[in-house]
Amino acid sequence: MNLMKKGKRPALSQVRKTEVVCPNDTNPMGLLQGGRLVEWMDIAAAVCAQTHAEKICVTASINHVDFKRAANVGDIITITATITRAFSSSMEIFVQSYARKVLAGNKYLISEAYFNFVALDPYGKTTVVMPVLPVTALEKKLFEDALKRKKKRSRP
């Protein structure tokens, strides 16, 4: 079966990454630094893109990052990266981050972002990636919305 023609379902490349907020990840108030969280999110998004494309992928842009709530020292951070759509050589990855208090056990959304990646061939040139085949209603909505976001970014 030629996956390049058929494509892949988003679930096949979804990534879940877990981190613990340590003191060196925080500001003087003991809150997780936004830059550290974005770094972790970028790693999860890169693994997702490379798993989908089956090629080396690099970050092209971060479309939008929303920081919703803070996380503290000791919190467990869970990051989920899911491909929304593949274009010719680029892909959009939707990343959500949650924090969980170890003793309280409650999990809450701390950040969401859209990352854009480009696949590279062995010579560092952009190369074609296989399409995304959305299955669920949410995957289909993210797929359609990704095109709208791409068109919005392309406007002068």
Question: Residue 91: which CATH number?
Answer: 3.10.129.10
**Residue 3: its pLDDT value, please?**
43
**Residue 156: its pLDDT value, please?**
62
Token pair recorded at residue 119: 């696949």
What's the domain range around 9? 3-154
Token pair recorded at residue 105: 């056990």
CA 140, 143, 146, 150 dihedral sign is: negative
Rounded to the nearest integer, the mean pLDDT of the chain is 93
Q: How far apart are CA 80 and CA 90, in angstroms?
A: 19
Mean pLDDT, rounded, for 102-125: 94
pLDDT class of 2 with cuts at 50, 70, 90: very low
pLDDT at 18 over 80: yes
- When divided into structural domains, the chain yields a total of 1
| Contact of 128 with 89, CB cutoff 8 Å | yes
